[in-house]
Amino acid sequence: MLRCHTPPQCRLGAGGAGAGVLLRQRSEVAVRCRAQQVSGVEAAAAAGTPAARAAVGGGERTSLAERLRLGSLLEDGLSYKESFIVRCYEVGINKTATVETIANLLQEVGCNHAQSVGFSTDGFATTTTMRKLGLIWVTNRMHIEIYKYPAWGDVVEIETWCQEDGKIGTRRDWILKDLANGEVIGRATSKWVMMNQNTRRLQRVSDDVRDEVFVHCPKTPRLAFPEENNGSLKKIPVLTDPAQHSRLGLVPRRADLDMNQHVNNVTYIGWVLESIPQDIIDTHELQTITLDYRRECQHDDIVDSLTYIEEGEEKSSNGSAFAAPHPEEQRQFLHCLRFAGNGNEINRGRTVWRKLAR
C-alpha cells in the first residue's frame, strides 16, 4: 500500500513567521509534496507493484496534472477552488498581474472545474448529450471587477461555480481572494449560451442536457454580484462614429487562436485596451471591464478598436459592495471592436478606471 510520507520541509509550524508567509509557503510546498508523492507512485509502478501500476495507468486513474494541481471540488461538489502563484511573466508595467492574466486564470479554473465533474476536455466543456447533438457553449458576456491587483509572487485563490441562466444559457461566477489574508480582491461573472457547432445557431438547453449540467450547480441562486443594479447587469449601448480614440488594423496572431481555431476570448480584452488613451494608461488602472461577445473572429480577420468617452458617466462603484475610488478619480469608457472590412460589430464593452495610487 502506498503512502505519502510528509517530509520535514512540508511540516510548517508557527515558528514566528507571519500568517501570510505561512499560507504562501503552504501553497508552494504543497506542489513539492505532491511532486514527491507522484514520483514515489511512479517509481513503485516502475518496480512492478500492482497497486502502483493501477494508480498510474489503470481504472479510475487521475492525470499527473490533476495530482499536482492546487485545486479541487468543495465538499458539496457544487463549486471548485484553485490557487495560483502569479508568475513574473504575468505582470505588467505596474508590477502587478495584468487584467489579461486575471482573465486567463478565470478561464483556467473554469475549465478545470468542468473537467473535475467529468465534462469533456476538448475545449468545449461539453456533456455526453451535447457531443451527440453537436452542441457547444459560447461566451455571451464577461464582467470582471478587480479591487486589488496581485503582484508577482502573490498567491491567488479562485472559487468558481455555474448555474442556470434562462432557457438557452448558463452563467459562471468567480470570487478571487488573496490567499495570504483571505481578502476578496476581485469578482467576475459570465453568461454562456448553447450553440449548434455546425449551424452556428443558438439552441435551447434540452432537459437531457439540463440534467447533466445542473446537477453540479447550486440548487438556489448564488451570485458573485448579488447587489441590485450592479455593473454586471448594465447594458452597453450601440456605438456609432466618430470615436474619440481608435487603433485600426489589428490582426490576430497565431498565438491568439484557441484550441477551437477561433480568437481566444482574452485576446479581445487586449484589443479593447489598445485604443485607450495613453494618459489614462499612465495615470489609472483598470477597475472594471464588461464585454458583450457578438461575433466570432477568425485568424485572417482585420479588427478596428474604437473607444468612446461615456457621456454622463456614472461616478459610482457600479453597485459594488466594495470600496470605490473618489468620484473625481474615476474615468469610464465605451468600446467597440469591429471588422475593418465591413464594419460589423464583433464586441462591445465598457471599462471603468481608477486613479493609480502613487
Is-catalytic flag, 297?
yes
Catalytic residue among 230, 297, 318, 336: 297
> 302, 250 in Cβ contact below 8 A?
yes
Catalytic residue among 10, 111, 245, 260: 260
Task: Using the structure block, give the residue that is written with the C-alpha cell 471599462.
Answer: 351
Is-catalytic flag, 143?
no
d(CA 27, CA 233): 35
> 24, 179 in Cβ contact below 8 A?
yes
Is-catalytic flag, 260?
yes
d(CA 137, CA 171): 11
22 - beta bridge partners? none
d(CA 106, CA 152): 17
CA 340 vs. chain centroid, Å, equals: 28
d(CA 258, CA 266): 10
For residue 340, report the phi and psi dihedrals to the nearest 5 degrees: -65, -30
Active site amino acids: 260, 262, 297
